[in-house]
Chains A and B, each alone.
Chain A
Amino acid sequence: MSSATIDAAFGPRQFLRAQNRWRWTEIAFWLATLLPFVLTPDYLVLASQIAITGLFALSLDLILGFSGIISLGHAAYFGMGAYTAGLLSVWGWGEPLTGLLAAGVTAGLFGYLTSFIIARFRHLALIMITLGIGLLLQEAANSASFITGGFDGLQGIHTWPILNRFDFDLYGRTAYSYALVVLFLTFLVARRIIHSPFGLSLRGIRENGQRMPAIGAATRAHIRTIYTIAAVMAGIAGALLAQTTETVSLETLGFQRSADVLVMLILGGTGRLYGGPIGAIVYMVARDQFSGLNPQYWYFWIGLLLIAVVMFMPDGILGGLALALRRLTPRRAKD
């Protein structure tokens, strides 16, 4: 066989193409996201917020799960996107799709600028720097209350109907459809990025960042790129929240939000693309149900859930499921 045909049969392109094929589990997942319209029409507002958080968690996965950057301040970009979309609306332009774009661009720009600092550090230093950026941004937003509305939050946001036809209703039908479509499209982009040579190099950086330059990978540039992309996605998620709820407040940038999304991602399983959305679904549904049953002490049950998951499913829920699947079908090749 000639080298060209060997390459075609076993080479890196074939590997990536194989990775990129859609598995039936993925198709089932996306079909399942349509279920709430039919099965639980009263829960669509919650579903829209889960979709938004899932998107936010996905953006964190790009930098955490695939590139090994642990961030405690990712909400900075989420909040930036939220405030951008919110402010545009307050200043008179409430069109949602362009608002999303503007939010993505602004958050992406901020992400790009901060990525220069981020790319230089690792381990605890990196974590604390991301934390610091988030905290500083929150303080700045509080001080600039004449723009951000401060503690009370941004008032006067009114989102125009999407494509001039779909108005936001009390039941959340439009909100969920909108959030779901944006989540799916952004997911496709993320998926394409991960299953590309660039995506592979990110995983290399995650596994052994010090060795990567030895094979000619431009580590810092790659990190800056993925960090910017993740910031854009987080910004889009933030804008979705601002547009569908017509509220924006300081906590969209806050530590609590950064910490929550990190917990959700770890819960779902990092580095698996679906870990973010799955983690968001499980965490937020659990929280909603526990909180409904026991508004004062639901923390307790969530805490137990987290402990249980980490004890019995290291590597998150998807990790646990993958392990179970592998045990049931041993002759299948590793994912």
Chain B
Amino acid sequence: MPPVFGMLFDGIAYGMLLFLMSVGLSVTLGMMNFVNLAHCSFAMLGGYVAVTLMNAFGWPFLLTLPIAFLAAAAASVVLERVFFRRFYNAGELEQCLLTIGIVFVSIAGAAYIYGTDQQPVHLPPYLQGSIVFAGLDFAIYRLFLIGIALVITVVLIATVEATRFGAQVRAAVNNQRMARGLGIDVDRLFAITFALGSGLAGLGGALAIAMLGLDPSFALTYLIYVLIVVSVGGLGSVAGSFVAAMLLGVSDEAGKYYIPAFGSVLIYLVMMVVIMWRPAGLFGRR
């Protein structure tokens, strides 16, 4: 098998990680127009929770994942109640300032509690190493990542397309005022969606440690990539985030393999080309 398939595989795995971290932001931004730049702080929280459970309490890696999800979701509920709720009708700039303030506080907090160095992660032996297939090495951890992300994607899309809750979410994203007019409790909907999205980010953060590392600046470093996925995919769209994350993950890998001198630039070029062609994103509505 030519090495390009190895690159595709790696790119898809990276894309899956980006998807998990970004999908929540896409939906909440699309539904409530709330600019939550602190989204990656939830991812970071999930990562640190997983690390604490593994290193301080000796939990197995897999068990830390659902807790990372729940911790991030819980934190988002608290923040939503205390802060975000007051700013739904405020301008985007105020929301930016608020959430950036929260990011700064979270970074300082993480540095204070955990220190500034990289957090080591001990993957269980069955997740390490790689499988050799048709002459190429496929990393087991990446297979695992792809597997989890696919399951979550299917569940998300099924929820959005086939459940009543999903229909309400779609309605609220499409036209918030109309949805309210039809009696949908958009605020409660948003709170639930926000918690879910942040929880997924937390899960993404926990999964990312083994691939991207974890230190207090995580909340800011990956914000750019998440924003890119969200804007390329289109606000409020799960499928959009998925496709955009795949596209960007693969472009990044391909760029690095084929033109390493410009590797990191490809992701920005792809973003600009897509946005100039379709300003609302690939699956965006507005």
Contacts and interface: CB of A to CB of B under 8 A. Distances in A.
A300 B106 CA distance: 8
Contacts of A109: none
A280 to B, nearest CB: 15
A267 interface: yes
Q: Is the interface of A mostly helix, strand, loop or mixed?
A: helix
B104 A299 contact: yes
B269 A306 contact: no
B258 interface: no
A296 B97 contact: no
A131 B227 contact: yes
Contacts of A55: none
A200 interface: no
B104 A310 contact: no
Given A297-B111, A307-B98, A131 B104 contact: no
A209 interface: no
Interface string B92-105: 11101110111111
A152 to B, nearest CB: 19
Contact of A132 (B101, B108, B268, B279): B268
B76 interface: no
B275 A128 contact: yes
Interface in A119-146: 120-125, 127-129, 131-133, 135-136, 139, 143
A311 interface: yes
A310 B105 CA distance: 15
Interface in B104-127: 104-109, 111-112
Contacts of B261: 143
A315 B109 CA distance: 27
B108 A124 contact: no
B109 A262 contact: no
Given A128-B231, A136-B265, A306 B97 contact: yes
B251 to A, nearest CB: 13
A266 interface: yes
Contacts of A330: none
A304 B109 CA distance: 12
B224 A131 contact: yes
A306 B272 contact: no
Q: Is the interface of B mostly helix, strand, loop or mixed?
A: helix
Interface string A61-104: 00000000010000000000000000000000000000000000
A309 interface: yes
A303 interface: yes
Interface residues of B, number: 41
B214 interface: no
B178 interface: no
> Which residue among B101, B111, B271, B281 has the maximum number of chain A CB atoms within 10 Å of its CB?
B101
A148 interface: no
The number of chain A residues touching the other chain, given as a range, is 35 or more
A150 B224 CA distance: 22
Interface string A2-18: 00000000000000000
B90 interface: yes
A160 interface: no
Interface in B227-259: 227-228, 231, 235
B86 interface: yes
B164 interface: no
Given A139-B268, A143-B261, A255-B224, A123 B286 contact: yes
Contact of A128 (B103, B228, B262): B228
A316 to B, nearest CB: 8
B175 interface: no
Nearest to A64: B93
Interface of A: 70, 117, 120-125, 127-129, 131-133, 135-136, 139, 143, 255, 259, 262-263, 266-267, 270, 296-300, 302-307, 309-311, 314-315
Interface of B: 83, 86-87, 90, 92-94, 96-98, 100-109, 111-112, 224, 227-228, 231, 235, 261-262, 264-265, 268-269, 271-272, 275-276, 279-281, 286
* List of 7 A-B pairs having minimum Cβ-Cβ separation, nearest first: A303-B104, A306-B101, A300-B108, A125-B279, A303-B105, A307-B101, A299-B108
29 contacts: A120-B276, A123-B279, A124-B235, A124-B281, A129-B275, A132-B272, A133-B272, A135-B268, A136-B269, A136-B272, A139-B262, A139-B264, A143-B262, A262-B96, A266-B94, A297-B112, A299-B104, A299-B105, A299-B107, A300-B104, A300-B105, A300-B108, A300-B112, A303-B102, A307-B102, A307-B105, A310-B101, A314-B90, A315-B94
Given A132-B272, A300-B112, A310-B87, 6 more contacts: A121-B276, A122-B279, A128-B271, A139-B265, A304-B101, A314-B94
